[in-house]
Amino acid sequence: MALGVILLQLFVVHTTSAQCAFSNLNAQYCVDQPAFSLTGGTNYFGPGVSGSTFNPASAGVGTHTLITTDGNASGYFVSTSGTFAPLSGSGTALALGNDDEVTGVPIGFTFNFFGLNYSQVRVGDNGIVGFSSSVATSSNLLLPDPTAPNNIIAASWDDMIPDGSSTIEYFTTGSAPFRKFIVNYTNLKFSGNADRITVQVQLHETTNIVELHSTGITAGVDEKTQGIQNGSGSIAYFAPGRNFTNFTATNDFVQFRPQCLDIRTVTINALPQDKTVTPVLPTTVCSGQTVTLTVVSSQSGINYEILDQSGTVVSGIVVGTGGDLNITSSALSTSVTSLRIRATNASTTCSRLLDGADAVVVNAIPSFTSTLTPAA
């Protein structure tokens, strides 16, 4: 190993640092909650995001992915705990011979790799995708190594032979700003051996994540290399046991995730359904009496309660059944002038006031003074 070379052969637990993580983003919001400014990160992306502002209503009801990143993939975390999920698509086939490469392959978006931006890659027949120097070589190395090729993604680097049963293709899929560039090595044969590999390289827009989805990597003849290496050959990342070793893999996932990246799942919850409320019965009562409101076709499982004009609760909670629901107030005072019904989803805490405020007149009970006069 050359002097000054950094060997990174560890599973790294995902952590985040200053300006690389959301600091005020909750896991759930109600759809009517006001927009607010996101903090803790640098650049923000996702449904409902505009600049640094997140608006739950714009995101819409459902589960969404929000991202913050500084856009600079200068260092990586390595993970093998994700889901094996190669993407399908209509690709452009590359006619590659033995120890061959195609240059200038368009990514379709700007991708940051070890801190530098690229819009094109080189694709070699020996399981290497690169960003600068030639990737045609079949002589795989123990990474990191300053010997060319550098600035590479080694999907399964070894001496491979494209034949009539194998394909190498690329395509870009998805919509900005979350497109994915794909390189497929399908049924690629080892030199001097009948074993074959099928592996997909994925480059993710905005997050600058690199993923390797290996359907099958067989033993082959000798050592293989799977990992990523920077432009000087001084830093490399890989999963343990896959750096110039004769490993195998089936339905396998490896991810190289930039260190300044935070990906969160946010759920936007719907409000309870708006329902028709029939008028107060009766509309005029005496102080200390009650009134009844009816929710027409109540929503099952939703909590309903009566509020007065100041927002004070003046009834118990009645749970919706799907049918008409009567709610009776507590004894009312003369300060009450109108009543409304609030509907609340107990599991999400999202609530709404049902349309219509019903006026009610609460009359004071007349005072009565009695004077007793003794009999003559």
pLDDT digits (tens, 9 = 90+) for 263-303: 999 999 999 999 999 988 778 999 999 999 999 999 999 99
Residue 14 has pLDDT above 90, yes or no: no
Return mean pLDDT, the chain. Answer: 93
Please tell me whether residues 287 and 243 are part of one structural domain: no
Is 376 part of any domain?
Answer: no
351: tokens are 């609530």
Is 368 part of any domain?
Answer: no
Beta-strand relationship, 361-363 and 284-286: parallel
- Of 249, 270, 291, which residue is a domain's last? 270
pLDDT > 90: percent of the chain: 86
pTM of the model as a whole: 0.87
Is 266 part of any domain?
Answer: yes
Please tell me whether residues 262 and 300 are part of one structural domain: no
Query: CA–CA separation, 123 vs 134, rounded Å?
Result: 9
Residue 11 has pLDDT above 70, yes or no: no
How do residues 238-265 score in pLDDT, each as one tens digit? 999 999 999 999 999 999 999 999 999 9
Considering just the CA atoms, what is the radius of gyration of the chain in Å? 33
| Confidence category of residue 222, pLDDT binned at 50, 70, 90 | confident
Please tell me whether residues 310 and 339 are part of one structural domain: yes
Please tell me whether residues 236 and 295 are part of one structural domain: no
Residue 148 has pLDDT above 50, yes or no: yes
Is 164 part of any domain?
Answer: yes
pLDDT > 70: percent of the chain: 93
Q: What's the pLDDT score for residue 376?
A: 63
Please tell me whether residues 331 and 261 are part of one structural domain: no
Please tell me whether residues 308 and 256 are part of one structural domain: no
Q: Say how many domains are in the chain.
A: 2
Residue carrying structure tokens 């979350």: 178
Residue 192 has pLDDT above 90, yes or no: no
Question: Long-range contacts made by residues 139-143, C-beta under 8 angstroms, separation at least 24?
Answer: 140/223, 140/224, 140/225, 140/244, 141/225, 141/244, 142/1, 142/225, 142/243, 142/244, 143/7, 143/225, 143/227, 143/229, 143/233, 143/236, 143/238, 143/243, 143/244
Please tell me whether residues 246 and 321 are part of one structural domain: no
Domain that holds residue 294: 277-363
Please state, as a whole number, how many other Cβ atoms lie within 10 Å of the Cβ of residue 11. 11
- Of 270, 296, 322, which residue is a domain's last? 270
Q: What's the pLDDT score for residue 220?
A: 78
Residue 149 has pLDDT above 80, yes or no: yes
The neighbouring-strand residues paired with 39 are none
Please tell me whether residues 41 and 135 are part of one structural domain: yes
